[in-house]
């Protein structure tokens, strides 16, 4: 039977769409949802240079140095810290911490991670890390260590103004994987991320909230590619570039504007070789968003194409040396 588009049927249609939407919400809640990125923990060979970089040049705020760990907060984030540094014999990733909103989400996500067969570092428990909370740690299939946590202590958010030129918060984390299609499937099926867009079949942009991407996956040896930080405005990104240049840290690639996410970008390298990005104007999406597969080209990768460098000027990739090894902190 064909439903005629009268007022009554429009109301039924609206109710039906609401039912589907609410059912999806309930299903997502049952599977547990990740709501944001909390922090990235790095092990670095030269702690003092990295510490100075994040404090004086990148302009995060050092909030604590305790038990050989140094913590940095971003002014515009409620997270107590978004970067954690540790002195080590090699440069590696200690942890990528993701946020869940409730203990039920943490438990549900743990069940899914366990059922998938991921190697567990520890099951959900009260955390002893700075800020406490409740969470678990595991290795994603390629071996990078992740945490999912909730109820972690938070701080006041500072409202930033144009020309403050300091990072507001972590915007996104980009990973490489020798099995990047499988890793995308893992983030979608196991951790509940949604695909926002693809660039060719080699770069996938994934979201866990209103922002176009909080995570992206590329082919390559298993490692972190870069961590990006939102700047309040495009002017703040450019003034940030100026500050980094004055401190002998020139742009590796940029300034430019990507097509997927429509965000501006400028990539740099920290003293220990970690790639970091200032970005701005990342677009927001809603539940009606339909993914696009963009055909890679110069003007798709960088809609301005007036900056320096390109993907080839980014540092050579190496597998993270600490895969499947827990930092225990």
Q: Which parts of the chain fold into alpha helices (H)?
A: 7-31, 47-52, 103-116, 180-189, 234-246, 298-301
Binding mask 220-259 for Fe ion (x = CB under 5 A): --------x-------------------------------
Range 263-282, binding Fe ion (CB under 5 A): 277
| In the complex, least distance from residue 185 CB atom to Fe ion, rounded to whole angstroms | 21
| In the complex, least distance from residue 59 CB atom to Fe ion, rounded to whole angstroms | 18
Q: Which residues are CB-neighbours of 327 under 8 A, at least 6 positions away?
A: 41, 43, 86, 94, 95, 145
The nearer residue to Fe ion, 110 or 268, going by C-beta atoms, is 268
The nearer residue to Fe ion, 116 or 294, going by C-beta atoms, is 294
CA distance 11 to 48: 63
| In the complex, least distance from residue 279 CB atom to Fe ion, rounded to whole angstroms | 6
Prior bond to 227 cis, omega within 30?
Answer: no
Supply the DSSP string of 112-131, one letter for each residue: HHHHHTPPEEEEEEE--STT
CA distance 183 to 191: 11
| In the complex, least distance from residue 218 CB atom to Fe ion, rounded to whole angstroms | 10
| Residue, CB closest to Fe ion | 228
The nearer residue to Fe ion, 79 or 277, going by C-beta atoms, is 277
Contact call for residues 255 and 265 (beta carbons, < 8 A):
yes
| In the complex, least distance from residue 265 CB atom to Fe ion, rounded to whole angstroms | 6
The nearer residue to Fe ion, 121 or 217, going by C-beta atoms, is 217
| In the complex, least distance from residue 212 CB atom to Fe ion, rounded to whole angstroms | 11
Residue with tokens 């002195």: 87
Q: Under rule CB under 5 A, how many of the chain's residues touch Fe ion?
A: 2
CA distance 12 to 1: 15
CA distance 300 to 285: 19
CA distance 236 to 74: 14
| In the complex, least distance from residue 206 CB atom to Fe ion, rounded to whole angstroms | 12
Relative orientation angle of helices 103-116 and 7-31, to the nearest 10 degrees: 70
The nearer residue to Fe ion, 54 or 278, going by C-beta atoms, is 278
Chain CA centroid to CA 309, Å? 23
Binding mask 176-215 for Fe ion (x = CB under 5 A): ----------------------------------------
The nearer residue to Fe ion, 112 or 194, going by C-beta atoms, is 194
The nearer residue to Fe ion, 175 or 228, going by C-beta atoms, is 228
> In the structure encoding, which two tokens stand for residue 260, read together?
């997927």
Prior bond to 255 cis, omega within 30?
Answer: yes
| In the complex, least distance from residue 277 CB atom to Fe ion, rounded to whole angstroms | 5
> In the structure encoding, which two tokens stand for residue 210, read together?
């209103």
The nearer residue to Fe ion, 152 or 183, going by C-beta atoms, is 183
CA atoms within 13 A on the CB side of 135: 26
Binding site for Fe ion (CB under 5 A): 228, 277
């Amino acid at each position: 039977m064909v439903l005629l588009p009268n007022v009554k049927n429009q109301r039924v249609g609206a109710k039906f769409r609401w039912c589907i939407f609410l059912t999806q919400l309930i299903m997502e809640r049952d599977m547990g949802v990740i709501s944001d990125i909390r922090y990235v923990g790095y092990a670095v060979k030269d702690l003092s240079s990295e510490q100075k970089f994040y404090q004086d040049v990148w302009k995060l705020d050092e909030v604590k140095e305790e038990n050989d760990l140094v913590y940095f907060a971003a002014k515009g984030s409620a997270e107590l810290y978004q970067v954690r540094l540790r002195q080590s014999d090699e440069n590696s990733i200690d942890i990528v911490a993701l946020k869940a909103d409730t203990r039920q989400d943490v438990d549900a996500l743990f069940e899914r991670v366990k059922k998938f067969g991921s190697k567990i570092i520890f099951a959900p428990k009260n955390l002893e890390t700075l800020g406490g909370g409740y969470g678990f740690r595991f290795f994603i299939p390629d071996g990078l260590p992740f945490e999912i946590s909730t109820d972690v202590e938070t701080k006041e958010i500072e409202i930033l103004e144009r020309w403050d030129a300091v990072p507001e918060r972590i915007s996104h984390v980009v990973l490489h994987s020798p099995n990047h299609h499988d890793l995308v499937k893992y983030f979608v099926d196991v951790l509940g991320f949604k695909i926002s867009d693809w660039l060719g079949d080699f770069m996938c942009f994934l979201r866990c909230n209103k922002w176009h991407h909080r995570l992206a996956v590329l082919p390559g040896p298993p490692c972190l590619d870069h961590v990006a930080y939102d700047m309040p405005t495009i002017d703040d990104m450019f003034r940030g570039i100026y500050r980094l240049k004055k401190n002998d840290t020139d742009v590796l690639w940029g300034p430019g504007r990507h097509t997927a996410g429509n965000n501006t970008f400028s990539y740099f390298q920290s003293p220990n070789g970690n790639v970091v990005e200032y970005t701005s104007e990342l677009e927001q999406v809603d539940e009606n968003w339909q993914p696009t597969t963009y055909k890679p080209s110069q003007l798709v990768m960088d809609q301005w194409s007036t900056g320096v460098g390109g993907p080839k000027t980014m540092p050579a990739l190496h597998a993270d040396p600490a895969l499947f090894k827990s930092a225990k902190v």
